[in-house]
Amino acid sequence: MTGDLQFRWELGGAGWASCRIADGAGEYRANVGYCTDALADLLYAVVGLYGDATVQRVSFDLEPVELRWLFQRRELDVALAMYEFPDGATSWGSPDETGGTLAWSSSSPRGVLGHVVMEAAESVLREHGEDGYREKWMLHPFPVAALQDLRRLHQRDDGCRHERCRGGFEG
């Protein structure tokens, strides 16, 4: 298991965002296009790890590369593998084993993953607000409901020791 998982999401110019994930062993960065509702999809994938599902997938459009996140939960740990497919137009929906290159992988407790993804989304909202987000991401509004779901499940189920996660967080 690697520690110190970090995740950042920053809106760039109109219609793209930069995404960075890192742990003690390395980092991965990507510029994500707005053809999919990428941040919402990612939040919902992480939310899914709090239910019965043990596997969640999200695909980002890196124009033309497809970046596919594969989350596999085992008990309370989550292994994340990120694959790049050179031609997103043909790879979308294909099996992970076919034609993808493993670009990054890491494993962490679900509580750590949930916390850093929640915080990254909150910091986007703090910085831009819902209106500012919509202006930059254009095709999709800020995923308020997905963030609320993740916050609620993380604070309920993960026993997170961050100060702001203990005893519930208002607002």
Residues found near Zn ion in the complex (CB under 5 A) = 115, 160, 162, 165
Q: Three-state SS for 57?
A: strand
**Preceding amide of 141 cis, omega within 30:** no
Question: Given the complex with Zn ion, which of 30 and 165 has the nearer CB atom?
Answer: 165
Q: In whole angstroms, how close is the CB of 115 to Zn ion at the nearest point?
A: 4
Question: Given the complex with Zn ion, which of 7 and 16 has the nearer CB atom?
Answer: 7
Q: In whole angstroms, how close is the CB of 154 to Zn ion at the nearest point?
A: 6
Angle between the 110-137 and 38-48 helix axes, to the nearest 10 degrees? Answer: 160
Question: Given the complex with Zn ion, which of 66 and 119 has the nearer CB atom?
Answer: 119
Question: Given the complex with Zn ion, which of 11 and 160 has the nearer CB atom?
Answer: 160
Instruction: Tell me the CA distances in angstroms from 87 to 8, 66, 68, 104, one per residue in order.
Output: 25, 7, 12, 18
Q: In whole angstroms, how close is the CB of 24 to Zn ion at the nearest point?
A: 19
Q: For 66-148, list the strands marked E by DSSP.
A: 66-74, 77-85, 101-109
